[in-house]
Each structure stands twice: as C-alpha cells, then as structure tokens.
Structure 1
C-alpha cells in the first residue's frame, strides 16, 4: 500500500512539472534537496537546495515552453525512511523552429518520510544539447546560459 501512495506522489509531481506549478512541486522536497541533470549545457549540473531547483525548473519552462513529460513506468522500492522511485519517461515538445523534440530518460528519486531528498536525472544529453542549440538559434538566449548550480 505504501508503494502505491509513492507512485501517486510521483505521478502528481510530473503533472506539476507539465503544468508549470513549481512552487507546489518543491513543497514535497527537503530544503537541501539534491538535483542532478546530466550534460554540459544550460540544464546540466547539480543543485543542492530548493531555491536552485525552482530556478532550474523555471529555466526549463523558459527554454522549452511546451515541454510535456509522459511517464511509462514507475518502480518503487524501500520503506518510508529510505524509498527509491525509478521513473521511465518520454519528454516531447515542439521547438521554436518547428522541429519536434523527443527524449527518453529515467529519474531516480530518493524519498525519506515522504519528502524528496534526491533527484538524479538521466537522459540523452546529446538530444538535450541539440534541442537547446536550436532554441538558442531561434532566439532563446537562456538556452546557452551558464548552469544553475548551488
């Protein structure tokens, strides 16, 4: 039953990303949450607090304004004091130049007592880089901004 509730919490968190409701999303994170996103680009790097994660999410929305993430599978392991949710997903968008953006990835989400303590995101970093490059070429300057790190 516990794993069912965690799956529902994870589904809700992805819905909040899709709806750009980031303030609500970070409420389910500890203050010193660790968020890592692979790649040497404007979305890459590691953040270590809620404020930096929120700034990163806001950047994500600006550089990919119509991004939508679809969950394919959630696996939950562990108990309330140490839970791991593994989420397989596909992200899609239409870039500013009209090109489609499609990327598949996995989130490893660690929770303790219902709060997210770590988000480790793995995706095709070349696809992210190329998508950001196209967004930059279309006039979204932030697509080449320095990483948000804390």
Structure 2
C-alpha cells in the first residue's frame, strides 16, 4: 500500500513539474538535498541545498526554452524512512534552433519520510550537449 501511495504522489508531482512547475520539486526537497545531474557542464552538476537545486532548474530552463519532462514509468521500493524511487522520463524542449528536441532520462531519488534527500539524473548527454551547443550562450 505504501508503494502505491508513493507512486501516485510521484505521478502527481511529475504532472506539475512536467508542465513547468519546477518549484513543486524544490518544495519536496530536504533543505540539504543532494542533486547530481550526470555529465559535463554547463548542465552537469553536483549541488547541495534547495536554493542550488532551484537555480539549476532556472538555468536549465533558460538554456532549453519550452523544457518539459514527462514521467513514463516509476518504480518504488523501501520504507518511509528510506525509500528509493526510480523514474523514467521523456524530455522535450522548443529551442529556436531545433523545435523538435527530444531526449530521455532516468532519475534515481532517495526519500526519507517524504522528503527528497538525493536526486540523481542520467540523461543522454551527447544529445543534450549538441542541443546546448546549437543554442549558443545562455
């Protein structure tokens, strides 16, 4: 039952985040959340804290206009004090140079008592790097 509740909450959260409400993810984060976006800069990051997490979303949105992320699958395991959530995401954006940008990612999240304490995202970084290079400086 607990896993079904978490899956439903994750789906609800991703509907909000996917429509551009990135603040919903930031509100779920613990004050000292650890966020890691695997890859090279400019989007590759290893950050700590809600404020840094929020800034990453702002900077990413500026580099990839129209950024939308859609949850396609979710797996939950563990207990309320140590829950693992694995999400599969479909990503789109509409930068001027490529109005059909698509990508995919896997997200590995750790929750403690309903708060996100770590979030690691693995995306096709080659495709992302090509899109950022084509878009030019942010």
Q: 1:66 deviation in Å? A: 0.9
Match status 1:36 vs 2:33: no
Question: How far 1:99 sits from its partner (Å)?
Answer: 4.4
Which residue matches 2:3?
A: 3
Extract unaligned runs of 5+ from structure 1: 143-150
Structure with the bigger RCO (C-alpha within 8 Å, sep 6+) is: 1
Q: Is the 8 A contact 1:36 1:47 kept in 2?
A: yes
Unmatched tracts of structure 2, length 5 or more: none
Q: Which residue of 1 aligns with 2:120?
A: 120
**Deviations 1:3-56 (Å, cap 9, x if unpaired)?**
122112222332232233233321111000001001112111101100000000
Measured in 2, the distance between the counterparts of 1:20 and 1:51 equals 17
- Specify whether residues 26 and 99 from structure 1 end up closer, same or farther in structure 2 by C-alpha distance, changes over 3 A only: closer
Equivalenced residues, count: 138
Q: Distance in 2 between matches of 1:98 and 1:131?
A: 8
Cα deviations across residues 55-89 of structure 1 (Å, max 9, x unaligned)? 00111211112122122210000010000011111
Q: Distance in 1 between matches of 2:98 and 2:45?
A: 28
Aligned-pair RMSD on alpha carbons? 1.4
Q: Alpha carbons of 1:130 and 1:9: their partners in 2 closer, same or farther (altered >3 Å)?
A: same
TM-score when normalising by structure 1 = 0.85
Structure 1 runs of 4+ with >3 Å offset: none
Contact 1:41 1:129 in 2 (8 A): no
